[in-house]
Amino acid sequence: MRQDNVINSQIHPAAADETGKSFDPRYLAAKKGIDDKALNQDVWETLRQALPQAAGSEPVNILEVGAGIGTMLERIIDRGLLTGLATYTATDSDPGQLGAAREYLSQWAGKRGHVLSWFGEHHGRLRTASADVSLVLGLACAEELADRSDIPGPFHLLIAHAVLDLVDFPAVLPRLLSRLKNNGLAYLTCNFDGETIFLPECVGDEEIVRLYHASMEARLTGASHTGRRLLTFLQRPGLELLAAGSSDWGIHPRQTRYSMDESFFLHAIIETVEREVAKINNPPSGLAAWARLRHQQVEAGELSFLARHLDFLVRHHPSLP
């Protein structure tokens, strides 16, 4: 047991496991409400207006990459984005997420009074008062989705939420966009953009945050500035950038308290920063003390946290030059 990560006999889970590839479903569930607050309203409203609705027996077809436990489908239904028939193909490269998504979505549907029936392990049908969604949970890497004939398209909407900083998007995104119908939409959200801020400021912040961002770069060049790189990339020929805007995470205590999800999320972020920085050669000697202090500040309701992200909505016009 690593004593430095134990506060009040509690071990804090990180956002992902030691490999950084398998995200903790509890972290993704806690992140949902924080993302809800952060998502850019203008980009969402533009999506609402631009997304075609089902015409008669023709469903609206949606493909999500890196879907995790399915919180974006939950959000889309809760916010009334879909009416009538739809298909929703939620894919992820981590097989553990598919089982977690089935469980998470079943619980959510039960709470909302929706009917979610499963056929086999990965096919479902979600019926709400206004939408009838045929749901597929698919094991797929974003990199190979363009070639997967078992995931039928074309799609009206592609969604990638909090995932494009994990893939080589200049190579992967054009291939994903090829799965869209002519004039199809891509809703690309929660793209990290180079700022992580813990408040109040304390000794070691600057170096630890710099090394944390450097660890993202070591994993994938450019990852720590995915947001601004996308802003340029999405203005290339064949794409029409319909909306763009900030979707920063912002958490602060209210009367020295957080919601349970906020508290879990903050501990997970601190643990993740510590773990990633500890992996480098010669990590700063004050790293464990920094993390201990930050965990204590969460317990005391004293920590605020900000992280910069950008959201985008683009239309794909493959016939344009």
User: For residue 286, which amino acid is it?
Assistant: G
User: Measured from the CB of residue 65, what is the shortest distance to ligand SAM in angstroms?
Assistant: 5
For the chain, state the CA radius of gyration: 20
Is there binding between residue 162 and ligand SAM (CB under 6 A)?
A: yes
How many residues lie near ligand SAM (CB under 6 A)? Answer: 20
Among candidate residues 42, 62, 43, the one with its CA nearest the CA of residue 52? 62
**In this complex, which beta carbon is closest to ligand SAM, that of residue 162 or of residue 242?**
162
Task: Provide the pairing of β-strand 123-127 with 115-119.
Answer: antiparallel
CA end-to-end span of the chain, whole Å? 58
- Please state the separation of Cα 207 from the chain's center in Å: 26
- The stretch among 41-49, 159-167, 237-245, 309-317 that binds ligand SAM (CB under 6 A) is 159-167
Structure tokens at 206: 């600057």
Is there binding between residue 143 and ligand SAM (CB under 6 A)?
A: yes
User: Measured from the CB of residue 220, what is the shortest distance to ligand SAM in angstroms?
Assistant: 10
CA distance 292 to 189: 31
CA distance 278 to 114: 45
**In this complex, which beta carbon is closest to ligand SAM, that of residue 31 or of residue 225?**
31
Is there binding between residue 142 and ligand SAM (CB under 6 A)?
A: yes
DSSP tag of 59: -
Site string for ligand SAM, 232-271 (x = CB under 6 A): ----------------------------------------
Contacts of 99 (CB under 8 A, 6+ apart): none
Structure tokens at 316: 């794909």
Contacts of 144 (CB under 8 A, 6+ apart): none
Is there binding between residue 94 and ligand SAM (CB under 6 A)?
A: yes
User: Measured from the CB of residue 28, what is the shortest distance to ligand SAM in angstroms?
Assistant: 4
* CA torsion through residues 171, 229, 21, 141, sign: negative
- The stretch among 88-96, 109-117, 149-157, 292-300 that binds ligand SAM (CB under 6 A) is 88-96
Is there binding between residue 67 and ligand SAM (CB under 6 A)?
A: yes
**In this complex, which beta carbon is closest to ligand SAM, that of residue 156 or of residue 161?**
161
Is there binding between residue 28 and ligand SAM (CB under 6 A)?
A: yes
Using CB under 6 A, pick the residue from 5, 87, 93, 272 that binds ligand SAM.
93
CA distance 280 to 13: 20
**In this complex, which beta carbon is closest to ligand SAM, that of residue 85 or of residue 162?**
162
Is there binding between residue 38 and ligand SAM (CB under 6 A)?
A: no
Where along the sequence are the contacts to ligand SAM (CB under 6 A)?
Answer: 23, 28, 31, 65-68, 71, 92-94, 97, 141-143, 161-163, 166-167
